[in-house]
Structure 1
Amino acid sequence: MKTRFYLIIMVVIIMIISQSCAHIEYGKLSVRITNASLPGESESYKNRIGAQAGITFPLANFSDVSGITAGLNGSLQGANYEEDNGLNGKVSLFYVNLPLVVRYQTPGGFYGEAGIQPGLLLSAKDKYNGITEDYKDFVKKFDFGIPIGIGYEFKNNIGIGVRLIPGLTNINTYDDIKDHNFVIGLGVSYTLRNIRMKEK
C-alpha cells in the first residue's frame, strides 16, 4: 500500500513537470555536496559525503514572492559503518528524486522552502574490505522525504543554499528494523534564465 502511494505521487509530479515544461522558458541547475547518514537500528552507521545534481522548474506563482517549484535530481546517499568485529564498510545508495516545494523569496534574494520528495532507488551497493556486493535486496525501492531549505539568490543568477531532507520511510526491507535516510546538503545553483520572483 505504501509503495503504491509513493508511486502515485511520483507519477503525478512527473505529469505536472511534463505539462509545465511545454510553457517554461527557464530553469535552474543545481549541485550539492551532501552529508548523508542512515540513523536507525542497523549497524553503527556514520555520516558519509555524497552529492546531488539536478534541475528545477517553477510550476506556479502564488504572488510576486512565493510559488511552487518541481525538480528532478540524482542523489548519492548512504552511510559508512563499523561493526563490533572491526569490519569497516560503506553503503552507497543512488536515488532519483522528485522534490516538489513551496518557496518564498524576498525581493532582496533570501528564500525559504519546504515540501515533499518521493524518491526511486536505482542502485544500492555495500563495499567492505575491497569487496563490493549488491545491496538492493535490503533496501526498499521507494523513499519519501521532507525537503526544507534556506538560501540566497544573487542578481547574477547564481544562488547558494542549504537543504535538509529527513526521510520518513523505513527503507530497510526488514520491517522490524528501522532505518531512514537523512541528508543535509550545501549547494550552488545557476539560473538558465531569470527564475527570481518579480520585484515590485
Structure 2
Amino acid sequence: MKKLIFTAAIAIFGLSNAQTFGLKAGANVSSVSNSDDSKAKFGFYAGAFVNVPLAESFSLQPEVLYNGKGVKYDGPGDGSTNLDYISVPVMFQYKATPQFYLEAGPEFSFLISAKDKWDGGSEDAKDFINGFDLGIGLGAGYDFTPNFGANIRYVAGVTDIAKENEDDALRNGVFQFGLTYKFGK
C-alpha cells in the first residue's frame, strides 16, 4: 500500500510540474447562422489556460475564457445582439513542430448576459437565449518564444441558442485570433 501511495504521489508531482499555465486574449469576429440581414460583430475574449502534456507531441489544454459573441443587424432599425459567455474550451493539441501546433475540441459556454441594442435603446434578451451553448473548435498556434505565442481558432456552434425556436436553428460561429503568454518557461 505504501508503494502505491508513493508511486501515485510521484506521478501527481511529476504531472503538476509538467503543466504549463498561461493567459490568453484576443479578438472575436462572431456571427449567428440563419439570422436575416446580419453581419459579423467584433468582440474580444480573455482568460487563462493550463497545458498538460500527454505525450511528446500531444497535450490537453483546458481553458476558462470570457467570450463576447453576437451579431449586428443592418437596415431599418440598425442594432446588435450582444451575447456574453464564460466559455470552457478543452482543446486536444498536436505539436507539428516544436513551435507550431494544431488543436481541436469541444467548447462549453455558459451565458452570463444577453442584450439587444438598437438606435438609442437596449433590452435584456436573456429570456430568449439558451443558457448553454456547445461548440466545436478547430485552430492552430505558433510559439514565437517559450513564453509568447499567437493562435487562431474557429468555433462552430452545435446547439440552437434560441429558446423555443420553431424555425431554423440559430447557432453561434466565432473566429478568434489572439496572443498567449505562458508562465515559467
- 2:184 corresponding residue in structure 1: 193
Does residue 48 of the first structure (1) align with residue 55 of the second (2)?
A: no
Give the counterpart of 2:161 among 171, 181, 190: 171
Query: What one-letter code is carried by the residue in structure 2 that aligns with 1:27?
Result: F
Instruction: Please list every run of at least 4 consecutive aligned residues from structure 1 whose deviation after the TM superposition is greater than 3 angstroms.
Output: 22-26
Does residue 63 of the first structure (1) align with residue 69 of the second (2)?
A: no
- 1:162 corresponding residue in structure 2: 152
Does residue 131 of the first structure (1) align with residue 124 of the second (2)?
A: no
Task: Report the alpha carbon displacement of residue 107 of structure 1 after superposing the two structures with TM.
Answer: 4.0
- Mapped partners of 1:113, 1:73: distance in 2: 17
Give 3-state SS (helix, strand or coil) of 2:55's partner.
coil
* TM-score of the two chains, using structure 1 as the length reference: 0.80
Shift of the 156–101 alpha-carbon distance from structure 1 to 2, 3 Å rule, reads closer
Out of 102-111 and 67-76, give the one that drifted further. 102-111
Give the counterpart of 1:117 among 89, 99, 107: 107
Query: What one-letter code is carried by the residue in structure 1 that aligns with 2:30?
Result: A
- 2:24 corresponding residue in structure 1: 30
Query: Percent same amino acid at aligned positions?
Result: 29
* Cα contact 2:96–2:102 (8 A) shared by 1: no
- 2:69 corresponding residue in structure 1: 77
Shift of the 23–63 alpha-carbon distance from structure 1 to 2, 3 Å rule, reads closer
Query: What one-letter code is carried by the residue in structure 2 that aligns with 1:80?
Result: K
- Count matched residues: 171
- 1:180 corresponding residue in structure 2: 171
- Mapped partners of 2:180, 2:154: distance in 1: 16
- Mapped partners of 1:107, 1:34: distance in 2: 26
* TM-score of the two chains, using structure 2 as the length reference: 0.86
Task: Report the alpha carbon displacement of residue 156 of structure 1 after superposing the two structures with TM.
Answer: 4.1
- Mapped partners of 2:95, 2:147: distance in 1: 14
Query: What one-letter code is carried by the residue in structure 2 that aligns with 1:36?
Result: S
Task: Report the alpha carbon displacement of residue 119 of structure 1 after superposing the two structures with TM.
Answer: 0.6
Query: What one-letter code is carried by the residue in structure 1 that aligns with 2:150?
Result: I
Instruction: Report the structure number with the largest CA radius of gyration.
Output: 2
Give 3-state SS (helix, strand or coil) of 2:16's partner.
coil
Does residue 108 of the first structure (1) align with residue 98 of the second (2)?
A: yes
* Cα contact 1:43–1:82 (8 A) shared by 2: no
- Mapped partners of 1:175, 1:91: distance in 2: 16
CA displacement, residues 72-107 of structure 1 (integer Å, 9 cap, x when unaligned) = 000011010135xx1110100000011111101134
Give the 5 Å matches for 1:82-101.
82=74, 86-101=76-91
Query: What one-letter code is carried by the residue in structure 1 that aligns with 2:184?
Result: R
- 1:13 corresponding residue in structure 2: none
Q: Where does structure 2 lack aligned partners over 5 or more consecutive residues?
A: 1-11
Give 3-state SS (helix, strand or coil) of 1:98's partner.
strand
Answer 1 or 2: which has greater strand percent.
2
RMSD of aligned Cα (Å): 2.0
* Cα contact 2:80–2:118 (8 A) shared by 1: yes
